Amino acid sequence: MVQHENILIIGSGGREHSLGWKISQNPLIKNIFYAPGNGGTKSNKNISIDDFENLKTFARKNSCLTIVGPEKPLSIGIVDSFEEEGLPIFGPNMEAAKLESSKVFAKKFMKKYSIPTPTYSVFSELREAKEYVKSSGGQLVIKVDGLASGKGVFVCNNKEQSMIAIDLILVDKHFGDAGRQIVIEEKVEGTEISFIVLSDGESIVPMASCQDHKNIFDNDLGPNTGGMGSYSPVPFITDELSEEIQSKIIKPTFNGLKELGISYKGFLYAGLMLEKESNEPRVLEFNTRMGDPECQSLMVRMSSDLLSYIDATVNRSLNCLENIEWKKQHSLCVVMASKGYPASYAIGNHIQGLDSKFDDDVYIFHSGTSINAGGKIDTNGGRVLSVTALGNDLKQAMYKAYSAVGLIHWGNDEQYYRKDIGSKALKS
């Protein structure tokens, strides 16, 4: 039984919008507040995601269950701060969030507990890092240790690219303190997938399979972004593969956390590479929250009441619930971004077409949007909208989503989106 009538969702992205949309379907919910929210969310509160004192004051005054969307407040201890004052909150504490906030911690953790991951070395000194590259093969992945909004990973195909990435991080200080240390790891060829579970530290409830598209350009070219689209389910993630991932990666991760005395509650997202030859899963990274845009694809397919699972996670009673039920339909999410993202881009362009007559089962989740003085929706970020659709099969979901995308525009053709979201599944 859900114990809370009021919900406070921290964040301003498409993930937070879609979580609130799904939670609102519970008839017991009276109010869903967003801090700070975006142009598509209602009941927004102008409180920063790291303003813990004002967030706690609001949650206490309104008897809210608080749900944390993005990684930053988790990494600096929002859950610890709330729990110290007895306020209910969903998400891992600061120690558990180190699986995402420090790639060095995560890699050492995986090595300690024999969780499959690409081989790696850690560096903080420029000379040592470059000497390592000189003595290594040409294909490497360079990662900043700390949080970088999905942009701190450089997949390098030769030594020159590796040297440029190292200079950007350690010399130019492009990522600030997040780049004080770097991880250099072997480049593994294969297919990337997102494997997301919900856990209260004891029980583990897997989400449906999903695949993200991280690179900015079609055919997985260009720099990494926060995510340009997703779809669910993934046809090549079989029941057997799912069980293998859980037994080799997910369960050892939670067992390792318990051995270290780290209590975990919330979503855990393993970004995996299925190796090209063996199809063996290896962990590229951990995220200690729900993925974005994976969340958008998953929420529209979820049949079960999300809030029941969140409430059971907070109260450590997930074992009382069955596995989540999912619609048989397929979903596909296309992220519409401001042209120039993930580098520089303009904001303040009026978005047109949001009132179009879309196909059934099309959902527009906002992220980088705001409401202007005239009550219209403007662009206010890099990733602007998540256009998400359900279809009887992936082709239909793709058709509906891209048809809706074609009706939305802003500025002088200032919108950008990938045109191949879901195409990997059609080829498999």
What pTM value is reported for the model?
0.94
Q: What percent of the chain has pLDDT over 70?
A: 99
pLDDT class of 427 with cuts at 50, 70, 90: confident
| DSSP-based three-state secondary structure for 51 | coil
Give 24-50 pLDDT, tens digit per residue: 999 999 999 999 999 999 999 999 999
Nearest to 245 by CA among 272, 212, 276: 272
* Residues 401, 291: Cα–Cα separation, whole Å: 19
Nearest to 295 by CA among 218, 388, 418, 204: 388
Contact 204, 286 (CB under 8 A): no
Give 55-106 pLDDT, tens digit per residue: 999 999 999 999 999 999 999 999 999 999 999 999 999 999 999 999 999 9
* Residues 129, 169: Cα–Cα separation, whole Å: 11
* Residues 90, 309: Cα–Cα separation, whole Å: 11
Task: Output the pLDDT for position 2.
Answer: 64
Query: Which alpha helices (H) appear in 337-390, and where do they start and end?
Result: none
User: Bigger pLDDT: 188 or 137?
Assistant: 188
Nearest to 197 by CA among 136, 126, 247, 144: 247
Residue located via tokens 């972004």? 225
- For residue 326, give Cα distances in angstroms to 206, 245, 308, 358: 11, 20, 15, 23
Domains detected in the chain: 6-93 (3.40.50.20), 119-186 (3.30.1490.20), 189-320 (3.30.470.20), 330-427 (3.90.600.10)
- For residue 1, pLDDT beyond 60: no
Give 267-292 pLDDT, tens digit per residue: 999 999 999 888 899 999 999 999 99
* Residues 266, 96: Cα–Cα separation, whole Å: 10
Contact 268, 245 (CB under 8 A): no
DSSP characters for 67-125? EE-SHHHHHTTHHHHHHHTT--EES--HHHHHHHH-HHHHHHHHHHTT-----EEEE-S
* Residues 333, 390: Cα–Cα separation, whole Å: 9
Task: Output the pLDDT for position 224.
Answer: 87
Contact 317, 235 (CB under 8 A): no
Task: Output the pLDDT for position 149.
Answer: 81
* Residues 284, 291: Cα–Cα separation, whole Å: 14
